Amino acid sequence: MDRIRITGGNALNGTLPISGAKNAALPLMIASLLTDDTLTLENLPHLADVESLIRILGNHGVDYSVNGRRESQEKGYSRTIHFTARSIVDTTAPYELVSKMRASFWVIGPLLARMGEARVSLPGGCAIGTRPVDLFIDGLRALGAEIDIEQGYVNATARNGLIGNRYVFPKVSVGATHVLMMAAALAKGQTVLENAAREPEIVNLADCLNAMGARIHGAGTATITIDGVTSLSGARHRVIADRIETGTYAMAVAMTGGDVLLEGAEADLLENALETLEQTGTEITRLNTGIRVRRNGGGIAPVDVTTEPFPGFPTDLQAQFMGLMTMAKGRSHITETIFENRFMHVQELARLGAKISLAGQTAVVEGVPVLRGAPVMATDLRASVSLVIAGLAAEGVTEVNRVYHLDRGFERLEEKLSGCGATIERISG
Ligand code: UD1
C-alpha cells in the first residue's frame, strides 16, 4: 500500500492550482443519467472517486469519452468528459459498487425519475458516523415513490412517474437535496424543497440541470422550487473550484508560514473558513485569479469553530483546522455538529505531539510550540489530509499510511505541494 513521506519544516511559497470540486463533480456526473443526450463536464478532477463513479455509471449504461487528448496524456489533470446515457441498461446499483462510495447511492433519484424504478444498495463510504438514508427515502416517498428496504437494498418504484410535492427536510442534507432536485426535475408539476442544503455544489448542480432544460429556482437558498419538465437535453457545464481543497492548502500555508497563490480558487465559496483563518493571523487576499494566503512570522492565534451547513464552517475542513490549531498560541475549541464520529484524526495528531482532549462533540486543543514527525494513519479522506498538513509543519519525518483515502479526493497532492517547496514524496508498496 502506498504511503506519503513528508520531511517537515519548509515554508510554502509559490503558485498552487486548485482543481474542480469532487463534491460537485459526483452529482453532476450522476445527472447524466437523466437524459439520453450527451452531458459534457469541464474541469472534472482526476480522482479515484471520479474513476469509481465512471465505472458505476457504466454499469447503468452511461458511455463516456475523454475530450481530445488520450487519457494517458492527461493523467492526474482535470479533464473534460462527455457522458451519454443513450439508454439505461440496468436500474440496479449493486452492493459491491455502492459500498465503495456513498455518493453512488444518489443514482436512485435519476433512475427513479427516468425509468420509474431503481434498486440501490444501502451505502458504505467514509467511516464518519452512521450516515443513514432516511431523508432520501422520505423525500422520494413525498414525490410519490413506493419504497421498501429488503436485504440491504432500497427498492423504489414510481410506475406512473414522480409527482411534485412540498417536502420539508427535517435536517439539512447535501446528498438528499441533490437527489430530490434531480428527481423533481422530471416529476409532474411543482416541487418545493424547504430547509434545503445551500452548499455551492447544490447551486452548481442546479445550474447544470437548468442548462439541460430543467426549471429550478432558489438553489443556494433554503427553499428550492422545481417545475417538472417531461425530458432533459444535453448540456456543457463546468465544475466549480474545490472549496475544500482550497481551504486545506490555505490552512497548510497558515501552519507552515509562507506565501502561496491558490490559483483558480473562488473566495465566495468559503468565506466563513477564510474569515476564520484571518482571525488566526493569516493574511488572505481575494484576487480575480485566486486567493493569496500569507503568514510570515507572528504566531497562530487560537480560534474556536463550530461546523455547520453552508454558509457555516464546513465539516470537511474541521480536521485540517484542528491540525492548524495544534500549533496555536493557546487553547481552542472545535465543535463538530454534522457527523457524530468525526474525530478519528485526534489520536493520530496526538502521535505528532498535539495536545487534544475530547468532551462530547467538542475537541479542546492546547497549542504546542512544535510538532514532531511520526508514522500516522487515517481512516477518512479529510482526516488524512489534516495529517499531511500537520506533517508539513512538524519537525522531522512524517509518514502517512493508507494513502488511498487521499487519492479519493486530492488531485496531484504531492506534486502541488512540492511545487511550493514542500519535501513530500509517495512511496509505493
Ligand atoms: C456531503 C459531502 C461530504 C460532506 C457532507 C456535509 C459529497 C459527495 N459529500 O455528504 O463531503 O461532509 O455533505 O457537508 O458531497 N443524514 C441523515 N439522513 C439522511 C441523510 C443524511 O440523518 O438520509 C445526516 C448525516 O448522517 C449527517 C447530516 O445528515 O449527520 C449531513 O449529511 P449530508 O449533508 O447528507 O452529507 P452527504 O451528502 O453524505
pLDDT in tens, 264-318: 999 999 999 999 999 999 999 999 999 999 998 789 999 999 999 999 999 999 9
pTM over cut 0.75: yes
Residues of the chain above pLDDT 90, percent: 85
Compute the distance between CA of residue 202 and CA of residue 167 in angstroms, rounded to an integer: 17
Nearest ligand 1 atom to alpha carbon 23: 15
Inter-residue contact 267 to 299 (CB < 8 Å): no
Nearest ligand 1 atom to alpha carbon 102: 39
Confidence of residue 126 (pLDDT cuts 50, 70, 90): very low
Compute the distance between CA of residue 358 and CA of residue 295 in angstroms, rounded to an integer: 29
The string of pLDDT tens digits covering residues 158-200 is 999 999 999 999 999 999 999 999 999 999 999 999 999 999 9
The string of pLDDT tens digits covering residues 218-273 is 999 999 999 999 999 999 999 999 999 999 999 999 999 999 999 999 999 999 99
User: In CATH, what class is 3-19+241-427?
Assistant: alpha beta
Compute the distance between CA of residue 144 and CA of residue 146 in angstroms, rounded to an integer: 7
Answer with the residue of higher pLDDT: 378 or 106: 106
Q: Provide the pLDDT for residue 125.
A: 47
Domain ranges of the chain: 3-19+241-427, 22-238
Is 3-19+241-427's fold the same as 22-238's?
yes
Residue 103 Cβ contacting ligand 1 at under 6 Å: yes
Helix (H, G, I), strand (E, B) or coil at 88: coil
Q: From 130, 131, 182, 202, give the residue whose CB has the most ligand 1 atoms within 8 Å, as the site to mutate.
A: 131
User: CATH homologous superfamily of domain 22-238?
Assistant: Enolpyruvate transferase domain (3.65.10.10)
Confidence of residue 137 (pLDDT cuts 50, 70, 90): very high
Residue 131 Cβ contacting ligand 1 at under 6 Å: yes
Q: From 98, 128, 173, give the residue whose CB has the most ligand 1 atoms within 8 Å, as the site to mutate.
A: 173
Q: Provide the pLDDT for residue 209.
A: 98
Query: What cell numbers appear for 395 in the block?
Result: 519537525
Answer with the residue of higher pLDDT: 1 or 278: 278
Q: Provide the pLDDT for residue 68.
A: 61
Helix axes 134-142, 108-115, angle to 10 degrees: 20
Average pLDDT, rounded, for the chain: 94
Q: In which residue are the cell numbers 522531522 written?
A: 396
Strand (E) or helix (H) holding 190 = strand 190-194
| Span from the CA of 129 to the centroid of ligand 1 (angstroms) | 10
Compute the distance between CA of residue 20 and CA of residue 25 in angstroms, rounded to an integer: 7
The string of pLDDT tens digits covering residues 371-417 is 999 999 877 888 899 999 999 999 999 999 988 888 889 999 999 99
Active site residue 420: no
Residues of the chain above pLDDT 70, percent: 96
- Of 126, 240, 305, 374, the active-site residue reads 126
Closest C-alpha residue for ligand 1 atom 39: 175
67 has pLDDT over 70 = yes
Compute the distance between CA of residue 206 and CA of residue 212 in angstroms, rounded to an integer: 10
Residue 132 Cβ contacting ligand 1 at under 6 Å: yes
34 has pLDDT over 70 = yes
| Span from the CA of 171 to the centroid of ligand 1 (angstroms) | 10
Spatial strand order in the sheet of 355-359? 305-306, 331-335, 362-366, 355-359
Distant-in-sequence, close-in-space partners of 74: CB < 8 Å, separation ≥ 6: 46, 66
